[in-house]
Amino acid sequence: MSESSSVAAKKKVVQQLWMEARLYRMKVSQAAEDLKQFCLQNAQHDPLLTGVSSSTNPFRPQKVCFFL
């Protein structure tokens, strides 16, 4: 009984490996180049690079009003 379950488990593993072998894989150099191009194209919209204006910054320190 354990032998049949072992064979079934190994068939599942082989099936999974065949499925993974058929996947398209992109070269790392091409993926890095695509990522670089994306970053350069969207750099003007990145607040970490361009900064945030003080009027639209939701995390700016709140002004405290004092009444004398």
pLDDT at 41: 95
- pLDDT value at 67 more than 90: no
Whole-number pLDDT of residue 68 = 64
40 class by beta-carbon count within 10 Å (0-12 exposed, 13-18 middle, 19+ buried): exposed
Cβ contacts of 47 within 8 Å, gap of 6 or more: none
Joined tokens for residue 67: 């009444």
3-class secondary-structure state, position 20 = helix
State the Cα–Cα distance between residues 47 and 61, nearest whole angstrom: 18
pLDDT the model gives residue 1: 54
pLDDT, residue 28, reads 97
pLDDT tens per residue across span 8-62: 999 999 999 999 999 999 999 999 999 999 999 999 988 888 887 777 777 777 7
